[in-house]
């Protein structure tokens, strides 16, 4: 079923006919979203502190067990190497995420609305951003038959919200508002930054541990003390085999953790949409998305790294569910139905 995409007034969702909402109440309702910033800073601080604690602990364990002497490497140097390499990739991806999204999807950013629909889209995002206590993000549209939208950007006040033409064509304005509020919640929660930091923590852990295992595997495989005869740089083939195998196993574990976090983000973004714009909007959108996916599932994978930030993404059952970036739509709908606002 296709719904006509037509502009509606912004007041549609928070003023009802015959009902007067006082300024005091509006301020009270919006204050809780503004207070998200300290909570996000605290979460990011704790995440960074956890990463540092894990690496320091691993370094101490390696030193106390004498593995650095037995295996012939400096754990402090390895720690610095793992931190730099682990975080550089994830942080670089975060800082270029907007540019990458625009290039991959050929997003047309709305600088000046050309018609009523674009004005509605920009003003809806502006009002939702105000309620969430964040800066006005860039708003863009990309050509795609998928019914989807996503948010990306390096910070809460320098983000991008993009919607597909498929979403604008197939969802009603009220449903589209619910989807937009979902993406605004991703931004206000700092999900892009948290995801990058989490990936950096896990990358650091995988690099550090896989290198230690590589050195250990090399020693066990060769059983020789004269490391200068083992090959280039005193490192033999066993190191590369051990490191490769451990990186594969630990990398899979890291992916499971990242995908688990991604699924939890979706539940929180759905709840945030309900609080910002009303539960009926996001519920109706998810039910409509479920019907569309059951009839004609279309997902645009031009930029797989951005799939975790879309309203609708890969999900599944059984073991596949562990690697899914999104929970099944029926689970998200059920969670919203239980939500008390």
Tens-digit pLDDT profile for residues 18-41: 333 344 443 444 444 344 445 555
Rounded to an integer, what distance in angstroms lies between the CA atom of residue 121 and that of residue 106? 18
170 and 146 in contact (C-beta within 8 Å)?
A: no
- Residue 107 resides in a domain: yes
User: What value does the mean pLDDT of the chain take?
Assistant: 78
CB burial readout 258-277, b (16+ within 10 A) else e: bbebbbebbbebbbbbbbbb
Asked if residues 293 and 282 have their Cβ atoms less than 8 Å apart, the reply is no
Question: Structural domain of residue 17, as residue ranges?
Answer: 10-223+231-338
212-262 pLDDT, tens digit each: 888 888 877 765 554 444 443 456 788 888 889 999 999 999 999 999 999
Mean pLDDT of 101-105: 92
User: Which residues have a Cβ under 8 Å from the Cβ of 95 and sit 6 or more positions away?
Assistant: 154
Three-state secondary structure along 289-323? HHHHHHHCCCCCCCCHHHHHHECCCCCCCHHHHHH
Give a yes or no: residue 138 inside a domain.
yes
pLDDT digits (tens, 9 = 90+) for 202-223: 998 899 889 888 888 887 776 5
CB-based contact 263:325 (threshold 8 Å): yes
| Cα–Cα–Cα angle for 307, 312, 317, rounded to 5 degrees | 95
- Residue 183 designated active-site: yes
Least confident of 68-72, 292-296, 297-301: 68-72
| DSSP character at residue 136 | P
Q: 83 with 204: CB under 8 angstroms? A: yes
Per the CB < 8 A criterion, the answer to whether 311 and 323 are in contact is no
| 266 annotated to bind ligand | yes
Residue 240 lies in a domain: yes
With H, G, I as helix, E, B as strand and everything else as coil, classify residue 152.
strand
Q: How many domains does the chain have?
A: 1
| Active-site option among 138, 175, 177, 183 | 183
In a domain, 1, yes or no: no
- The model scores a pTM over 0.85: no
Answer whether residue 5 is part of any domain.
Answer: no
Residue 49 is predicted with a pLDDT of 64
- In whole angstroms, what is the distance from residue 287 CA to residue 295 CA? 13
Instruction: Let me know: does 53 contact 60? Beta carbons within 8 Å.
Output: no
> Do the domain assignments include residue 159?
yes
pLDDT surpassing 70 at residue 290: yes
Give the closest residue to 117 by CA, choosing from 3, 16, 15: 3
Residue 2 in any domain: the answer is no
182 is in an annotated binding site: yes
Residue 4 has pLDDT above 50, yes or no: no
């Amino acid at each position: 079923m296709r719904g006509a995409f037509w502009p509606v007034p912004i007041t549609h969702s928070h003023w009802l006919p015959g009902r007067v909402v006082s300024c005091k109440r509006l301020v009270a309702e919006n204050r809780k979203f503004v207070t998200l910033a300290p909570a996000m800073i605290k979460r990011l601080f704790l995440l960074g502190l956890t990463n540092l604690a894990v690496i320091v602990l691993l370094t101490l364990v390696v030193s106390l067990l004498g593995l650095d002497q037995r295996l012939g490497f400096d754990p402090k140097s390895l720690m610095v190497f793992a931190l730099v390499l682990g975080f550089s990739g994830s942080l670089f991806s975060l800082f270029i995420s907007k540019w990458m999204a625009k290039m991959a999807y050929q997003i047309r950013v709305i600088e000046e609305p050309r018609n009523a629909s674009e004005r509605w889209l920009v003003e809806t995002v502006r009002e939702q951003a105000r309620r969430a206590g964040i800066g006005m993000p860039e708003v863009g549209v990309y050509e795609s038959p998928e019914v989807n939208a996503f948010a990306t950007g390096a910070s809460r006040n320098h983000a991008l919200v993009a919607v597909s033409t498929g979403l604008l064509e197939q969802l009603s304005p009220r449903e589209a508002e619910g989807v937009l509020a979902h993406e605004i919640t991703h931004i206000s929660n700092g999900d892009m930054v948290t995801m990058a930091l989490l990936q950096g923590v896990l990358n650091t852990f995988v690099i550090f541990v896989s290198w230690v295992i590589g050195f250990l595997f090399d020693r066990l495989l060769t059983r020789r003390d004269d490391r200068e005869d083992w090959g280039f740089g005193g490192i033999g083939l066993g190191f590369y085999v051990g490191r490769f195998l451990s990186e594969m196993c630990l990398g899979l574990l890291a992916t499971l953790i990242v995908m688990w976090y991604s699924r939890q983000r979706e539940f929180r973004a759905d709840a945030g949409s309900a609080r910002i714009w009303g539960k009926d909007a996001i519920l109706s959108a998810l039910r409509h998305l479920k019907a569309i996916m059951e009839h004609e599932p279309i997902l645009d994978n031009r930029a797989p790294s951005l799939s975790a930030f879309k309203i609708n993404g890969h999900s599944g059952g059984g073991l596949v569910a562990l690697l899914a970036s999104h929970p099944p739509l029926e689970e998200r709908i059920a969670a919203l139905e239980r939500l008390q606002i």
